[in-house]
Structure 1
Amino acid sequence: MHRLRQALAHYLPAVGIFVGFVLLWQLAVSVFDIREYLLPSPGAVLQAMVSQEIPWLQHAWITAVEILGAFVLAGASGVLLGMAIAWSPGLSRALTPFLVFVNTLPKVAIAPLFLMWLGYGILPNMLIGALIGFFPVVINTAVGLTQIDQDLVDLGRVFSAPKWKVFLKIRIPNAYPYILSALKVTATSAVVGAIVGEFVASQKGLGYVIITTQSSMNTPAAFAALVWISLLGLLLYGLVAGLSRLLAPWAEDRAG
């Protein structure tokens, strides 16, 4: 019962805000008599989400694979680059300006180039999502590895621990909260990147559904696709949050 009360206290405000938003949405549609092609009611969106006219599971599966692939690529490359920056000041001076340059590039403009180089399919959408989401992981990893209590580093030196061992045993555990915090941001960025890729050119996926339904003025289906996208993003974010509580519970306790 105690855990149940804790869970309710933790999640009830978020659920309340969501329910309140849906009620206000329904109220606005009813009071102002907004036409469905402009703003469908929550009931119409829910009906579209379970409609058999669109193969939702097939499109959601494609988008989920793209999002997960983008997240894994962004996380792995970001952690490795952040470790390289923290390991060597020379590498930091060489890599940081280039990474900032890449991050400032407009991703929507790069997406057609990826599609031209790699063709249609899941891979270019993964790469676009990874490109959008990797930079926060790089920066947070580097900060977590360098912003550390100097006494801990000195303790390792007292015991004649080599640099790699200090890095592995002291610096990396210290960076867990920073990395996991960045991965939460990347979980949402990967969703954006995958959908951007599907908007540019695709024949499957939830982004493709949005484009096709907008052209036919099927606004409830477009909103339904947005809800499915949000659910995928929430699921990935929840998985990262669970991993964060597992690997760095002390950080989660401080945040809570």
Structure 2
Amino acid sequence: MTRQLKNDIYGVYHLSPPAELNDIKTTVIRPATEKHIKKYLHQEVYLIQESGEDYKNITLPFIESQSFSIQWVYNILEKKAEADRIVYENSDPDNGFILLPDFKWNQKQVEDLYLIAISQKKGIKSLRDLTADHLPLLRNILKEGTEAILKRYGLRGNQLRIYLHYQPSYYHLHVHFTALGHDAPGITVERAHLLYDVIQNLEMDSRYYETRMLTYALREDEALLKSFKEAGKC
């Protein structure tokens, strides 16, 4: 350790931690698509206000025209990959899910806990597809997910942030569980929707997410933003 300056009670020092404390976690995506690369580049972002009609006329056709591969999700559900990482599983084909750590969490401390619950049921692309028919699935994820985390990691439900993204990073229903004190990526108000609120909204109105205005951010070079511009919506 070397001292750069000392002034009364303030000091500035430079030090190098020992190798065992100087660990670097790396996620490798290979082969990376152009979308993967753009995701990690700095870009301007813009808010989109998407009505239910905008979703039907702009967003859904865009999603259906793209070749977004979610084979890696099916590999998890079919136990072809990451089976050793599963924290909890409910195998019911309609209301079950698999809970496992997110790649962003190194699993060394609960302060930045981050797990993902992936629905067993296929065909639910996002928040927009959810209706009251999916309430048993959402309640299972909430109840059994929090119980599994309490049993395994000692964090209670009121110490967790449980939410869905819109737009999601991949189009298969999944729910994020993070430690409440952890500033995880994607917890901003324009993207994260608390699972408690989602359940309550669907209890009040089965078509809530089909019809309501949803606000979210898109990066400058995203093709969906171009679609909204071409439609004169931004």
Greater CA radius of gyration, 1 or 2?
1
Task: Give TM-score, length-normalised by structure 2.
Answer: 0.28
The structure where strand makes up a greater share of residues is 2
Ranked by relative contact order (alpha carbons within 8 Å, sequence separation 6 or more), the top structure is 1
| Larger helix share, 1 or 2 | 1
